[in-house]
Structures are given as C-alpha cells and as structure tokens.
Amino acid sequence: MNKLLQITVLLGGPSAEREVSLRTGRAVAGALRSLGHTVHEVDPLDPAWELPAGTEVVFLALHGTYGEDGTVQRRLDAAGIPYTGCDAESSRVGFDKRLTKECCVAAGVPTARFTVVTDATAPWPSAWEPPVVLKPVRQGSSVGLQFVDRIADWTAGLTEALRFDTEVLVEERIIGRETTVGILGVAALPVLEVRPKSGAFDYRNKYTAGATEVFCPAEFDAATTARIQAAALGAFHAIGGRDYARVDVMVRPNGDPIVLEVNTLPGMTELSLLPKAAAAAGVGYADLCQRMIAMALLHPVSPTGGNSV
C-alpha cells in the first residue's frame, strides 16, 4: 500500500491559463484525497505564497508562465521540496517553442519548418508559402494561436499573436491528422487523435465539452503508431524531460509524424488528453495521480538556498 503523504497541490497562478489550472488542480486534489492523502491546495497568485508546514511533496497543477516555464521549479529546488513533472531546465526548454524545436532538430526528431518573428511590422517571410501557424513562443493551451491562410492576413495575425509574447513562432502548417502522445515514466502511452467538430484544435475546442472528438487508441496501423510514439519519445528526451509529459504530433497523409511541441505539465481536467491516454492503457485517474507523486519522490532533493516556500 502506498504511504499516505502530506501533499500540496499548486493550482491557479498568474498565467493566461489560470482557469484551466484551477480545474486541473481541483480534480487532482480530489483524486489524491480519495486515496487517503492529506491534501492542501495553494494558489500562488501572490508572490509571497508559502507551502503549508509539513508538505512532503508538491503536485504541480500549474499551466503557462511561472508554473510551466521552470520558475516555480527553481523555487522548489531551492527549498529542497520534491515536485511532480519535469525539472526546472527541461521545463524552461519545453515551454519555449523555439528552444524545443531547436532541440528536436539537433536530435533528429522530425518537426515542422519554422522561423521566429519579434516585430508586428515584419514582412511575410521570404521563400515561404501559406498556410502558416503563428504561436507565441512562450504560451500554452493554444493561447494566442493564429492560422494564416493568406498573405493578406499576415499582419493582423502577427499583431494578435504578439499580444501574448515578445516572440512569435512562424510554423509551416502541417496538413494531416492531429495526435498527441502521453509519456508516463519511460513509455509512450497509446496514441490519441483529436478531431474538432469545427475549426482547429484551439483554446475553445480544447476546453469546451463536446467540441472535439477524441479517439484513443487512434486508428493507425502498428508501424505508423510506433513511429508516432518514437517521435514523441524522441522530443521528450531531446528537451531532457522526466517522469511525464504530453507531446503533440501531426501525422501527414503518408504516415510521417511531425512533432509540434512538448507539454511538460499537461492538463489533468475531465476533458484533458493525458488522463484519456492513460485510461486507454489501463491506468485510472487516481492511479495516474499517485504514479506522478511516486515518481516525484524518486528524485533526490536538497535545499540550495534562496526564497523560502
């Protein structure tokens, strides 16, 4: 039987993904309580937040800036408190779409052609043809995502994407099937395919019940499934990931997988994709949360000084 622990769930926070994080955190807290753990919920919206006395491990249910970019991980490292998910450096890299793609290129992991723009007055990139996708470099949950199908829409899309970050990733739009692969421990979970009922898999379709059809396991032949999972694992290892993540992968009509990004603290709401993939592998929601805690406790920690929590 698993040891009962004093667990603090960090949820909410200051990012653009605050509402989703609150939903993730409440779901996780409920699951951990159902297993008998003592669970505290702390919203680090105030920079002076502190962990409750006796906290043995932190479950990170934060998304977006501060929670997913390595900031809170560095603070917990300084205090010597174990936490779920990727460490500070791989979180920093995984949250930065440009750095992630550079790591993928260096590791030979297939990813979409890209460039980075910082100026709303920048011209259409030479030698490119539409369609392209514009993504704030350091945001998640499709915050600020823009699809540009015509050069005439370039400036408007770029201006909107730059509202959410000082850098925008310009990416070749891959036409194909949209999949995601959960990573749990050292293994890839079953491939999951998403099909929005209308439009793209954007923020609205991600978090609106019934807006997107989900197929898990996705209907690919065994060889294509293995290639998709291998690409996802390759991206996870390329950024130095640990314990778990979710990797978004487009699949071209010929079956070639193209990695888009790595989500180092994937959603854990009732609509989230990682729990669905885990369920397809026979891992229930509460068990998934317990496994994440168990993996966190395997990493050695020691206080390094800095701000107390």
Instruction: Tell me which residues are annotated as active site.
Output: 17, 141, 207, 246, 248, 261, 263, 267
* C-beta atoms surrounding 87 within 10 Å: 19
Omega before residue 47 within 30° of 0, cis: no
Alpha carbon 1 to chain centroid, angstroms: 30
In which residue are the tokens 């002076």 written?
48
- List phi, psi (to 5°) of 5: -125, 160
Q: Are 72 and 280 in contact (CB under 8 A)?
A: no
Q: Are 94 and 42 in contact (CB under 8 A)?
A: no
Is there a contact between 7 and 84 (Cβ–Cβ < 8 Å)? Answer: no
| Tokens (6 digits) for 302 | 């020691």
Cβ pair 191, 179 in contact under 8 A: yes
CB 212 within 8 A of CB 195: yes
